Amino acid sequence: MKRPFKTRIKTLKIDGIDVGAREDETILELAQENDIFIPTLCHLEGVHDVGSCRLCLVEVRGTNKLLPACMTYAEEGMEVITNSERLQAYRRQVLDLLFSERNHVCSVCVSNGHCELQWLAGKLGISHVGVPYLYPQLEVDASHRYYSYDPNRCILCTRCVRVCDEIEGAHTWDVMGRGVECLVISDLNQPWGTAESCTRCGKCVQVCPTGALFNKGRAVAEMTKRRDFLPYLQTMREGRK
Amino acid sequence: MFDRLEEITKAEQETAGRFDHTVDVCVAAGCMSSQSVAIKEALEKEVEAHGQGHRCRVRGTGCMGLCAAGPLITVDAEKPGEIMYKQVTVGDAADIVASLDSTPVERLRCRTDVPFFQRQKKIALENSGLIDPERIEEYIAREGYSGLMRALTEMSPSDVIDEVVASGLRGRGGGGYPTGLKWTTVAKSDGDVKYVICNADEGDPGAFMDRSVLESDPHRILEGMAIAGYAIGASQGYVYVRGEYPTAVARLKTAIRQARRANMLGSGIGGTLFNFHVDIRLGAGAFVCGEETALIASIEGKRGTPRPRPPYPAEFGLWGRPTLINNVETFANIAPIIRNGGDWYARIGSGASKGTKVFALAGSIINTGLIEVPMGTPLREIVYEIGGGISGGGECKAIQTGGPSGGCIPAGYFDTPVDYESLSALGSIMGSGGMIVMDESASMVDVARYFMEFCMTESCGRCVPCRVGTVHMHNILDKFSRHEATPHDLELLEKLCDMVRNTSLCGLGQTAPNPVMSTLRYFRDEYMDCMMPELNGAERVGELMEVAR
């Protein structure tokens, strides 16, 4: 039998708060709507989610598995816990791993003070990194006329890849390699300045959570990013329709 | 259409009846690597030279199981006086041909009355080593494609699913998800286009079951897939084979061509209205592409990385369509289930694990090779009776099952029956069927380190815990191997195991800590022995552990 309604409305509990939701809303969206804090680094409003940073994992009653809030949809009667001790410990460990993976040195970073990774570390109470640093040797790409790319500060959230592909339509960025050797590259792993698909729009720079992508000519702590950039762009586009 | 199958069967039997002797040479990968193709040619020449061509035939067949004793040859395999020869060389061809009508060549004899051959029960491997994988006629002569024809002409799609549900068959790729349930969910999903995928991206170190089935009996997979296509309403199937299996790919291609010509694949199969096409897609060497969502991405031409589930492929699979993904061995069991009924299959096996399971025995075991036993067979029977015991006469220390997602089972637990639940209770998994047997000389820390290195290099890099966590775990295990570990390292290792297991995106990361956790559970002493020498007194380590806490 065909359902007489298009989108169903669900009611559920997040951290004990009753919440009403459309069935196509994710736990992360609902939490943000209701001022419940769930950390995330890979989620970006306006592009599809990949569930790769694992910071937004939440507990859902009735299942042993931890589910990524950005890719879990509202269900009737769901009981979600977003901030248990266990989740906090895992989130701190994820940040530990991210800090150890590349060379994140805040004191010399253009994004110092405006970095999502740095802010989150403070917010989650990271006082030190619990695993040894891996210190990879990665080269900075400053070949582009307007921007620079420093893979040492990249956390492989792939926001740049998705925004370039889905919003700008250029698909200049993508990921190469496997495992810890993964690297975000432009075109066919060539200097960014020579990437012909790049339109120099700078969307990737604005959405990058860290100082991996930044405007040229910025010194330490000078790179602030326009976080409202993407929602603004979308509103303007939708308005034009 | 049954008439057509019968005609082919009769013609085959007549052909076989014309020959007094049939000499079968194993031409699956194991024996091929020890010159079995050259042996086959030499035998053919000898037969001609003796003028026996009219009454003796030489065939290339699939795997006979006892890979350790290859190249293997059987003479008159389906007659009462079957003779098997082992470790044959090109030079032995003349003697074998000369002995056909007299007494067998004793120095090459391989006994077949031993437990290795007697204790097995073959369903998925029922034709392995008995037919020429490159001739569809021989498959048909052994009831091949009669299951498909029975499904198409006598059963409705839901009848087919009911049989599979009744059989109690569970996914043989590792997870053990009930196959009937999976078929039901795909059948119920909305959509006029659906797909069937056969996962032949076998990548566990030490596992070669799927390769052997594909090389020895490729039509069985095609028949299973076509039955699945009929049951769920799909008309297109893909076999995703890893590129490292060139022989399997070649034989599969031949099989697809022959099946199309025989009207067992393609449009209007067997005169019915059912269409089903099968194409091959080659993997490019990534272990993670055996994970179903990564495999789908790879077939779509994208980077082979997994995505979170739900939605499961049953709802949202290849090109966004409902997709059924089963492993090679699962499909290999389908035709016999349809032929003999689900109840027949459910009577084999034990508890919640029905039927038989193919295992690849590897490591320090005498009878290295491929076996198929009923579920619930104790490990001890597999190792000491079927496997013939430990090579070099030593004691068995542990068995590693399930590859990099599995764990090590110590000798003390060898009376455990092999089924999905018992193995996971021991901290390992059934996995796809690799069994690596280790003797006393094996270092468990090194085993854990080896598998962690495998996971580290095969991680796709998408999620943080698997990408970075495996590197740290590997580095710590490396410190243990170098005897440089401290109690702090052990604590950190356990913390990382827990974190990577619970927070990783796909099965690769979630199960990557298993080899470490199971060796820590049963062989913690070995880890302690690998601490820094100056810390190496049990009391001292205990003290330091207290301090670390």
Residues of A in contact with B504 (CB under 8 A): 54
Q: C-alpha A221: how far from its chain's center?
A: 20
Question: Do A179 and B459 count as a contact with CB atoms less than 8 A apart?
Answer: yes
Average pLDDT in chain A = 92
Residues of A in contact with B463 (CB under 8 A): 51-54
**Residue A5 domain flag:** no
Q: What is the predicted pLDDT for the residue at A54? A: 96
What do you get for the CA distance between the two ends of chain A, in Å? Answer: 35
Is the Cβ of A81 closer than 8 Å to some Cβ of chain B? no
What distances in angstroms separate CA B131 from CA B12, B25, B82, B109, one per listed residue? Answer: 11, 10, 15, 21
By C-alpha distance, the chain A residue nearest B285 is A178
What letter does residue B302 receive in the DSSP assignment?
A: S
What distances in angstroms separate CA B535 from CA B217, B487, B489, B526, one per listed residue? Answer: 56, 9, 13, 14
Q: C-alpha B302: how far from its chain's center?
A: 26
Question: Do A51 and B457 count as a contact with CB atoms less than 8 A apart?
Answer: no
Q: Confirm if B231 and B237 have CB atoms less than 8 A apart.
A: no
pTM given for the model = 0.92
Q: What is the pLDDT of residues A15-72, one digit of tens each?
A: 999 999 999 999 999 999 999 999 999 999 889 999 999 999 999 999 999 999 999 9
Question: Do B461 and A179 count as a contact with CB atoms less than 8 A apart?
Answer: yes
From start to end of B402-468, where are the E strands? Answer: 407-410, 434-439
Rounded to the nearest 10°, the torsion over CA B111, B116, B118, B124 is -120
- Report which of A97, A159, A175 is spatially closest to residue B304, judged by C-alpha positions: A175
Q: What is the predicted pLDDT for the residue at B85? A: 94
Question: Do A177 and B461 count as a contact with CB atoms less than 8 A apart?
Answer: yes
Question: Do A134 and B471 count as a contact with CB atoms less than 8 A apart?
Answer: yes
What distances in angstroms separate CA B499 from CA A121, B467, B491, B495, B522, one per listed residue? Answer: 18, 12, 12, 6, 21
Q: C-alpha B486: how far from its chain's center?
A: 39
Question: Do B505 and A54 count as a contact with CB atoms less than 8 A apart?
Answer: yes
Q: Which CATH number do you get for residue A67?
A: 3.10.20.740
**Directed axis angle between helix B464-481 and helix B487-503, to 10°?**
150
Phi-psi region of B170 (alpha: psi -120 to 50; beta: other; left: phi over 0): beta
What does the alpha-carbon distance between residue B137 and residue B156 come to, in Å, rounded to a whole number? 27
Q: What is the DSSP string of A59-76?
A: EETT-SSEEEGGG-B--T
Of B461, B475, B492, the CB nearest to A182: B461
Of the candidates A50, A83, A116, which is a domain's last residue?
A83
Residues of B in contact with A174 (CB under 8 A): 303
What does the alpha-carbon distance between residue B91 and residue B372 come to, in Å, rounded to a whole number? 32
Q: What is the pLDDT of residues A186-241, one digit of tens each?
A: 999 999 999 999 999 999 999 999 999 999 999 999 999 887 777 777 776 666 54
Clarify whether residues A79 and A106 are in a common domain. Answer: no
Q: What is the predicted pLDDT for the residue at B315? A: 94
**Residue A118 domain flag:** yes
Amino acid residing at B94: A
For the segment B158-163, the average pLDDT, to the nearest whole number, is: 96
- Report which of B451, B31, B440 is spatially closest to residue B206, judged by C-alpha positions: B451
Clarify whether residues A168 and A70 are in a common domain. Answer: no
**Residue A92 domain flag:** no
Of B307, B468, B502, the CB nearest to A180: B468
By C-alpha distance, the chain B residue nearest A72 is B310
**Confidence check: pLDDT of B152 > 70:** yes
What's the token pair of residue B544? 């330091």
Clarify whether residues A79 and A119 are in a common domain. Answer: no
Of B307, B457, B499, the CB nearest to A179: B457
What's the token pair of residue A161? 């890849």
User: Under DSSP, is residue B475 helix (H, G, I), strand (E, B) or coil?
Assistant: helix
| Distance from the B316 Cα atom to the nearest Cα atom in chain A, whole angstroms | 14
Count the neighbouring beta carbons within 10 Å of the beta carbon of residue B403.
Answer: 27
The 3-class SS string of B2-25 reads HHHHHHHHHHHHHHHHHCCEEEEE
Q: Which domain holds residue A18?
A: 10-83
What distances in angstroms separate CA A137 from CA A152, A154, B375, B472, B478, one per listed residue? Answer: 8, 13, 51, 17, 21
Q: What is the predicted pLDDT for the residue at A58? A: 97
Report the domain count for chain A.
Answer: 2
How many interface pairs between A and B have CB atoms less than 8 angstroms apart? 90
Q: List alpha helices for B262-319, DSSP H.
A: 292-299
Amino acid residing at B270: G
Residues of A in contact with B286 (CB under 8 A): 178
Q: What is the predicted pLDDT for the residue at B517? A: 95
Count the neighbouring beta carbons within 10 Å of the beta carbon of residue B299.
Answer: 21
Q: Confirm if A29 and A12 have CB atoms less than 8 A apart.
A: no
Question: Do B468 and A100 count as a contact with CB atoms less than 8 A apart?
Answer: yes
Clarify whether residues A177 and A120 are in a common domain. Answer: yes
Which residues lie below 8 Å from residue B467, measured CB to CB, with a gap of 6+? Answer: A101, A156, A179, A180, A182, B459, B460, B461
For the segment B402-431, the average pLDDT, to the nearest whole number, is: 91
Q: Which CATH number do you get for residue A183?
A: 3.30.70.20
**Confidence check: pLDDT of A118 > 90:** yes
User: Under DSSP, is residue A81 helix (H, G, I), strand (E, B) or coil?
Assistant: strand
What's the token pair of residue B421? 């639940």
Q: Confirm if B17 and B10 have CB atoms less than 8 A apart.
A: no
Count the neighbouring beta carbons within 10 Å of the beta carbon of residue B433.
Answer: 29
**Confidence check: pLDDT of A1 > 80:** no
* Chosen from B503, B505, B508, B511 to mutate, greatest number of chain A CBs within 10 A: B503
Amino acid residing at B92: D
Count the neighbouring beta carbons within 10 Å of the beta carbon of residue B479.
Answer: 19
Clarify whether residues A159 and A225 are in a common domain. Answer: yes
Of A54, A101, A131, the CB nearest to B503: A54
What letter does residue A151 receive in the DSSP assignment?
A: G
Of the candidates A83, A117, A141, which is a domain's last residue?
A83
By C-alpha distance, the chain A residue nearest B307 is A50
Residues of B in contact with A98 (CB under 8 A): 464, 468
3-state helix vs strand vs coil in chain B, percent to 5? 50, 15, 35
What does the alpha-carbon distance between residue B526 and residue B273 come to, in Å, rounded to a whole number? 63
Clarify whether residues A47 and A74 are in a common domain. Answer: yes
What distances in angstroms separate CA B143 from CA A234, B219, B223, one per listed residue? Answer: 62, 11, 11
Determine how β-strand B83-85 pairs with β-strand B396-401.
unpaired
Q: Confirm if A149 and A173 have CB atoms less than 8 A apart.
A: no
Q: Give all domains of chain B, ordered by start, each with its CATH number.
A: 18-113 (3.40.30.10), 144-345 (3.40.50.11540), 356-440 (3.10.20.600), 445-548 (1.20.1440.230)
Q: What is the pLDDT of residues B454-468, one digit of tens each?
A: 999 999 999 999 999
Average pLDDT in chain B = 92
What's the token pair of residue B470? 């495996």
**Confidence check: pLDDT of B541 > 70:** no
By C-alpha distance, the chain B residue nearest A156 is B462
**Residue A60 domain flag:** yes
Residues of A in contact with B503 (CB under 8 A): 54, 57, 66, 90, 93-94
Q: Which residues lie across from B21 on neighbouring strands?
A: B56
What distances in angstroms separate CA B430 from CA A60, B167, B290, B407, B446, one per listed residue? Answer: 28, 19, 16, 10, 22
* Side-chain-facing half-sphere of B249: CA atoms under 13 Å: 13
What does the alpha-carbon distance between residue B506 and residue B291 come to, in Å, rounded to a whole number? 8
Which residues lie below 8 Å from residue B34, measured CB to CB, with a gap of 6+? Answer: B70, B71
Question: Do A71 and B308 count as a contact with CB atoms less than 8 A apart?
Answer: yes
**Residue A88 domain flag:** no
Phi-psi region of A62 (alpha: psi -120 to 50; beta: other; left: phi over 0): left
Of A51, A175, A179, the CB nearest to B303: A175
Clarify whether residues A36 and A79 are in a common domain. Answer: yes
Of A97, A177, A182, the CB nearest to B469: A97
Q: What is the predicted pLDDT for the residue at A241? A: 45
Q: Confirm if B134 and B365 have CB atoms less than 8 A apart.
A: no
**Residue A3 domain flag:** no
Residues of A in contact with B175 (CB under 8 A): none
For the segment B541-549, the average pLDDT, to the nearest whole number, is: 59
| Distance from the B465 Cα atom to the nearest Cα atom in chain A, whole angstroms | 7
| Distance from the A209 Cα atom to the nearest Cα atom in chain B, whole angstroms | 15
Q: Confirm if A232 and A193 have CB atoms less than 8 A apart.
A: no
What does the alpha-carbon distance between residue B169 and residue B345 come to, in Å, rounded to a whole number? 8
Question: Do A98 and B461 count as a contact with CB atoms less than 8 A apart?
Answer: no
Clarify whether residues A123 and A228 are in a common domain. Answer: yes
Clarify whether residues A72 and A114 are in a common domain. Answer: no
Of the candidates A83, A112, A136, which is a domain's last residue?
A83
What's the token pair of residue A88? 């906090």
Q: Confirm if B333 and B124 have CB atoms less than 8 A apart.
A: yes
Clarify whether residues A115 and A222 are in a common domain. Answer: yes
Least-confidence region, from A68-82, A123-137, A218-232: A218-232
Q: Confirm if B86 and B68 have CB atoms less than 8 A apart.
A: no
Q: What is the DSSP string of B316-369?
A: S-GGGS-EEEEEHHHHHHHHHHHHH-HHHHHTSEETTEESEEEEEEEESBSS-E
Is the Cβ of A177 closer than 8 Å to some Cβ of chain B? yes
Is the Cβ of A93 closer than 8 Å to some Cβ of chain B? yes
**Residue A48 domain flag:** yes
Q: What is the pLDDT of residues B290-348, one digit of tens each?
A: 999 999 999 999 999 999 988 999 999 999 999 999 999 999 999 999 999 999 999 99
Diameter of chain A by CA atoms?
63
What's the token pair of residue B354? 């029905």
Determine how β-strand B56-61 pairs with β-strand B73-75.
unpaired
Residues of B in contact with A179 (CB under 8 A): 456-461, 466-467, 470-471
Question: Do B503 and A52 count as a contact with CB atoms less than 8 A apart?
Answer: no
What does the alpha-carbon distance between residue B258 and residue B137 come to, in Å, rounded to a whole number? 9
Clarify whether residues A74 and A135 are in a common domain. Answer: no
Q: Residue A57 — φ and ψ, nearest 5°?
A: -55, 135
Clarify whether residues A64 and A113 are in a common domain. Answer: no
